[in-house]
Amino acid sequence: MGYDLDSFIDPSGTNSIKWEFMSLFAPNATEKAIPMWVADMDFPCAEPILAALHRRVDRQIFGYSTHRTAEYFRAVCGWYQHRFNWYVNSTDLVYSPGVVPALSYLIHILTEPGDGVIIQRPVYAPFSSVIEKQGRTLVNNPLVNRGGYYVMDFDDLERKAKEPGTKLMLLCSPHNPVGRVWKGDELKKLGQICLENDLLIISDEIHCDLVRKGIKHTPLVTLFPEHKNKIITATAPSKTFNIAGMHLSNIIIHDRKIRKKWLEYVSGQLRLSAPDPLAIVAAQAAYCLGEEWLEEVLAYLDNNISFLESYLQEHLPEARCTPLEGTYLAWVDLRAYGYTQEELKEKILEEAQVLIEEGTIFGEEGKGFIRINIACPINILKEGLKRIAGVLNPKGKEA
């Protein structure tokens, strides 16, 4: 189709958290600030999704709805089969308004207060908060930074998996924020350690479609078909197709007893049984007709990544960007510039007027790092990086 991904769409009047409500999250942000923080894209939605939504709006009916139709399941399960050669039975699919709520629900029904839940920091901040808010014990198996390339510490993982109180592991795959797309042998080792120690695994694979050219994402459960009842996979069309505001996630629970607990708690007690009608239509259209748009976006992201790497090399030569195998979130190491975390925040937000995610929100392992959302038109990326380089390395070569 040829989407125009270079043009910026004015978000004024759209209730955009990212653009219009920056001051709620960063009081010192001005109207000139560039938001490169929250994980949604600045690209136009795929035309087939827009067309499907227009048709649905024209029907003029927006009452209580359900996604449990053959059309919906064909769209979602067909996508998994097509993109990953992963067969998902529609009966294993349950609805959640988001992956983070799903993590909270699952921790609630699968563990008891005080039980240990393993995560791998630096990792998406809500992993920590959902564990702590549920009164569970956070068990950190920190990733190892080997010269800018992150790997898992399997010896440490095995020690912590053996602890009697440890019951569950939350895996981030692809990993946010370090950008790793875990290889098959890494996933097999992790899975074997957890299964041998009778740990359930929740695999957050929301970024599974957003990988670089030549990189392959492997759904964890496909490596352990005989143990699929011990693995729960969280997915959504939100990151892939830039429809996060639709609040629809698909959680794949193979174990019938766990699924029953989910339905009793989430659908029964919480009364969250189905998405809204527009979310259903958007998801169906995305999975059935959105692949062409996605491929164009992935190619654009590859170019943005190349630009980011070359720009940093020239204008912030002491910065180190971890190899971005997946997601559209760059993890940049600024420790060589010697700024404290507070100084980084002050310079980038207050002086440069660029909103980024501070590394420490992902754990202490992120001290001296920042996360930058690069899913935007190239000119916005250029201006954001120019501002950041201007305050961190003012003596550097001008852009």
| Mean pLDDT along residues 188-210 | 98
Residue 273 binned pLDDT confidence (cut-offs 50, 70, 90): confident
* Tens of pLDDT, residues 60-71: 999 999 999 999
pLDDT over 90 (residue 397)? no
Instruction: Say how many C-beta atoms besides its own lie within 10 A of residue 322's C-beta.
Output: 20
pLDDT at 395: 75
Report the predicted TM-score, pTM, of the whole model to 2 decimal places: 0.96
The two tokens of residue 51 are 């067309």
User: Per-residue pLDDT for 399 more than 50?
Assistant: no
Assess contact for 94 and 262: CB atoms under 8 A. yes
User: Which positions ≥6 away from 302 have C-beta within 8 Å?
Assistant: 212, 213
| CA pair distance 180, 150, nearest whole angstrom | 7
Percentage of residues in the chain with pLDDT exceeding 90?
Answer: 94
The pLDDT tens digits for 89-119 are 999 999 999 999 999 999 999 999 999 999 9
> How much is the average pLDDT of 196-225?
98
**Which pLDDT belongs to residue 394?**
80
pLDDT at residue 396, rounded to an integer: 65
Residue 149 pLDDT exceeds 70: yes
Average pLDDT over residues 18-25: 92
Q: Is the pLDDT of residue 173 over 90?
A: yes
What is the rounded distance in angstroms from the CA atom of residue 106 to the CA atom of residue 258?
Answer: 9
Candidates 329, 241, 230, 320; CA nearest to 283 is 241
Burial of 362 by CB count in 10 Å (0-12 exposed, 13-18 middle, 19+ buried)? buried
Domains of the chain: 17-46+291-391 (3.90.1150.10), 62-289 (3.40.640.10)
Mean pLDDT score of the chain = 96
Using DSSP, state whether 139 is helix, strand or coil: strand
**Residue range 256-276: mean pLDDT, rounded:** 95
The pLDDT score that the predictor gives to residue 5 is: 97
